[in-house]
Structure 1
Amino acid sequence: MHRAIASLCILITLATIPLLQGAAYAAPISEEDLKIMEQSLSIVEIDRDISKVMLQQQDTERDTVKLTKQIADKSIQIESSRERAGKVIAAYYMGERETLLTALLSVNSLSDFFTVWDYYQLISERNQDILNTYQQEYIGLRQAREDLDQTSRELEKIKQRLLQQRERLVALQQSVESSISSSADPEKLRQMIQELTSYWQNVGLHEVRRYFKALSQAMANFSDYLKDYGDSLASIKGGYILTIREKELNQFLRNKNKLLGDMTFRFTEQRMIVQGSKEGLELSIEGHYTIENQPQNALIFHIDKLVFNGLELPDTTRNELEDAFDLGFYPQQLVPFIEATEAKISENELTITLKLSLKSRN
């Protein structure tokens, strides 16, 4: 059962070039224009997601063709194996096996006995090989069919997602085009959208991914936290309490990656806030952690809101970053045979209850 334990709001100001340049931004931007630009940025990201889904669809379709061919080949192989296996089984029931045993017991000398015995062994081993081959080919055929069924289900989900995203894209495009046409200065607005799109594709997305990567790498080495701050882990009956303090967390992350040097992590009631200050680009992230137990006990971070220079990005971008960069916390990297059962955020610190568990990480 998942337990939501904290909402996370991050405001990062990155060092980069100004968002947009030129006459298009000489005057303040209205809220309506900002909304249109936000929708246009969503169009760019949804379109990018559609391209990814189409590639995934192509790969899955290739897998389907490959598995279908494997099933056809295995079906031919198994027919031959089934025929041979049938003859072996028939021999057992029609007395050929007993005939060999009778011959074995009827020999008059020890040397003849071993000669017949070797012959009997060869026949038995050969028969067993035939039966084993049939069994393995049958298992392989059954597995290939199960794989094909699974791949077919995945392909259907991909097609449905692709259809939904295309419908969503068309609706947004129609909305944006209608809003641009009815705006006070359509040409100016188109120019701003074009500049925003170019900036996001060439700079913004790269910078966002760079900072997410830095955070993910730092969290991957979170086991080093206790080496620096051993007193943050206190023993209690049946487990431990891990206390992560603002000052220590900031020090730890900054030491792990210089890119995080301009970021400040702050704990407040029911949320963690991270702030940075440099010119040019602003990013805010809101999300939460859940305690999950599959495939292992962990505090997994989920992005609920992602805002780039005041423009909210769609769920496709959030999901992509969430999948690509693991910001989770894995208790058993700190101490084996424990699992997180509860986490609370209060002023200036995050406390996590860790209970002893017989399950250990792989």
Structure 2
Amino acid sequence: MKMKTVRVLLAFLLLLSASPAHAENSNDTKEAQDLLQKGLTIYEIDREIERLNEQDKKISDQIQTTGIDMVKQDKNVQASRKHAGRVLRAYYSGDRDNIWLLLFTVRSFTDALHTFEYLNMIVQNDNRALKTFTASYTQLQKLKTQLEASRIELQKTKDNYLKQRVRLVDLQAELDKQLAVSVQGKVVEAQIKILNDEWKQKGLPLFRQFFEKLSIAFVDLPELFTKDAGKNLVFEGTKGAVFTLTDQNLNSFLQSKNELFNQLAFRFTEGKVLVSGKKDDADIQIKGNFLLIPGQDMNEVRFTVDQLVFNGFQLPDTTIASLQAEFGLGFFPKKSAKVEVTEVVNQEGKLVIRLKF
């Protein structure tokens, strides 16, 4: 209902601009649209700042916990080092060689067994001491690496926070200035709040729902390689093949995975993927690309998002980044189909994936 109010406002302004007597109102229409867009951007950047604050606290707590663990582990290393040092000194000085001479002093087979068990117990204890020291030292180094990584991540979070904070302050000052001199200022200010509430209550949950279901469905995409006896595969000798995925096949596949995709459609174009959907009075658009992401063990085909649009309003890069960080939109052909992907090309009406056996 609130979103309809925003649309009514914009439609009214468009109607005014259509009349020559009110030609100047076309500028008012664009101004209102721009102000609403700016208000939504500010809302999303503010939400990103809140997320960065939470991430900052989480990483800080993690650093503190890791620091405490390092102190404990350092004590374990010192204790195990002393024990391991005594063992190594004993072997180096020849003390451990002498204990084997006990075997030559036994007087019966039973004594020999007992002596051998005793000597074996000493050797096993020595091995445990050395292994304990090695494990303790390795764990300490691992904790140090984790701590350093956490500190680097914390610094990146703080830098990003400051960057977004400056961006927010500048945008807010710009918006306040424009609203102050606009004849529609009060009306648009009220509509900005309505739009932001609509995004918070309907838009964001809908995008999160779509992204979540896509992340689950994409994992199973490699099953299309062998579907219908591999009719979508063109073999290149015995070492590889080319898989062609049409947008129609992709949409059918997604709809078979979840009925939510009955309201969402992918369309492949030259070098770009367009996604559009509608649920109730919420329209969403996504622009992106399927890319090849090389990996150490296996390559990934990942859908990366370049643009998100909700009811005609574009979301900022912070929204895209947070959604992509939360939901992985990719698949690993080698993990399920046992083939490696070597090339991914977006073409008109289809996605071409080159595979290597």
Give TM-score, length-normalised by structure 2. 0.82
Aligned mates of 1:133, 1:166 — CA distance in 2: 48
Secondary structure in structure 2 of the residue aligned to 1:19: helix
1:25 and 1:192 in contact (8 A); partners too: no
1:154 aligns with 2:159: no
CA deviation profile, 1:242-289 (whole Å, cap 9, x unmatched): 223344444433344333334444444433444456773332222222
2:290 and 2:346 in contact (8 A); partners too: no
Aligned mates of 1:268, 1:68 — CA distance in 2: 51
Secondary structure in structure 1 of the residue aligned to 2:306: strand
Aligned mates of 2:242, 2:139 — CA distance in 1: 49
- Correspondence for 2:69: 70
- Correspondence for 1:116: 115
Cα distance change on mapping 1:77 and 1:351 into 2, 3 Å: closer
- Correspondence for 1:168: 167
- Correspondence for 1:303: 305
- Correspondence for 2:56: 57
Aligned mates of 1:102, 1:253 — CA distance in 2: 75
Aligned mates of 2:130, 2:216 — CA distance in 1: 52
2:292 and 2:300 in contact (8 A); partners too: yes
- Correspondence for 1:356: 356
- Correspondence for 1:47: 46
- Tell me the C-alpha RMSD between the 2 structures: 2.9
Q: Which runs of 5+ in 1 are unaligned?
A: 1-16, 358-362
- Correspondence for 1:287: 288
2:179 and 2:189 in contact (8 A); partners too: yes
- Correspondence for 2:272: 271
2:291 and 2:344 in contact (8 A); partners too: no
Letter aligned with residue 76 of structure 1: K
1:223 and 1:333 in contact (8 A); partners too: no
Alignment of 1:182-331 (within 5 A): 182-225=181-224, 226-227=226-227, 230-237=230-237, 238-275=239-276, 280-294=281-295, 296-331=298-333
1:27 aligns with 2:16: no
CA deviation profile, 1:88-145 (whole Å, cap 9, x unmatched): 2333344432432334324455444444333333333333322322222222222222
Letter aligned with residue 87 of structure 1: R
Aligned mates of 1:278, 1:118 — CA distance in 2: 76
Question: C-alpha displacement at 1:203, in angstroms?
Answer: 1.4
Aligned mates of 1:116, 1:279 — CA distance in 2: 83
1:340 and 1:352 in contact (8 A); partners too: no
Number of aligned residues: 339
Find 2:341's aligned residue among 339, 342, 351: 339
- Correspondence for 1:87: 86
1:20 and 1:195 in contact (8 A); partners too: no
Aligned mates of 1:326, 1:82 — CA distance in 2: 44
Letter aligned with residue 131 of structure 2: N
Question: C-alpha displacement at 1:26, in angstroms?
Answer: 7.3
Question: C-alpha displacement at 1:68, in angstroms?
Answer: 0.9
1:242 and 1:352 in contact (8 A); partners too: yes
Aligned mates of 2:152, 2:334 — CA distance in 1: 35
Q: Which protein, 1 or 2, shows the higher relative CO under an 8 Å CA cutoff with sep ≥ 6?
A: 1
2:276 and 2:286 in contact (8 A); partners too: no
Aligned mates of 1:164, 1:172 — CA distance in 2: 12
Q: Which runs of 5+ in 2 are unaligned?
A: 14-27
Aligned mates of 1:278, 1:114 — CA distance in 2: 80
Q: Percent identity?
A: 28
Secondary structure in structure 2 of the residue aligned to 1:302: strand
- Correspondence for 1:128: 127
Aligned mates of 1:131, 1:122 — CA distance in 2: 14
